[in-house]
Amino acid sequence: MECIINRRAQFSASHRYWLPELSEAENSQQFGLGSRFPGHGHNYVLFVSLVGELDEYGMVQNLSEVKKVIKREVTSQLDSAYLNQTWPEFQQTLPTTENIARVIWHRLIPHLPIVRIQLFEHPELWADYQGNGMEAHLTISTHFSAAHRLAHPDLSYEENSEIYGKCARPNGHGHNYHLEVTVTGEIDPRTGMIVDLGALHQVVEDYVVEPFDHTFLNKDIPYFSQVVPTAENIAIHIRQLLQQPIQELGAQLYKVKLVESPNNSCEVYCSQATSSSALTQESQALVTSV
């Protein structure tokens, strides 16, 4: 029986976004506060995912041995280090979250059957790498607070109450929504970035957080005048809002995850292909309730 197991590790390190071929003004314009001398630091959290058949002892890998490999090959070298000068890979391509994840993969793959590296720079920014050349995923998270009412406009109050229960009450109710936006693309071989992180944050702020925050979705967002603002429909609409602006940044929207409450969340996936005539899209929604 094949299983995937995950091992967590952590290290603290600093880095700086700075290209010597650019002037100080150009570095500041491209990387913002990240270009400041002598750099800045993070408490990185690393998840290493391994795949394999269970052995006679009921294990994919002996986690004690996995821990030793990760420490020897990665964390002992990166902990309390200045990343730009630690590994030669970061001389050519800056140590962004997504590029660190990529390089860690290549450091570990000779020793472990890894299928994914996930690296958290902080709780609201992380990268996933699965061995696909320079392609990686980058996720940012944010939040907004909004109210909604679950009621189909063509149904009576009694019929809506039968379907949606308390959520159909006329005055609605509110949530602190947690939003995760995942983009995918090629890591730039010099900057180490899939996308300009500041620009990505601004797109999410402009198209979602600012318009949605502290609103009654049914009344304040035109899309929901005829569409019931379930978590699924909200996530789908956010996908529609973000897809083109993110593409204009040079990346592709991969996933929108919306957490309505600790018990309910929704994920909407996107796959995109651009042709000369149209943008085709396949999507899949996953709803989780606990």
Catalytic site positions: 167, 214, 260
In Å, how far are 28, 41, 74, 142, 158 from 83, measured between CA atoms? 19, 10, 12, 27, 61
Contact partners, residue 229, CB within 8 Å, separation at least 6: 148, 149, 150, 217, 218, 221
**Cβ(45)–Cβ(10) below 8 Å:** yes
Q: How many C-beta atoms surround the C-beta of residue 62 within 10 A?
A: 11
In angstroms, the CA 290 to CA 286 distance is 13
Here the contacts of 112-115 (C-beta below 8 Å, separation 24 or greater) are 112/48, 112/50, 112/61, 112/66, 112/69, 113/50, 113/51, 113/52, 113/60, 113/61, 114/48, 114/49, 114/50, 114/51, 115/4, 115/49, 115/50, 115/51
What sign results for the dihedral spanned by CA atoms 239, 244, 249, 253? Answer: positive
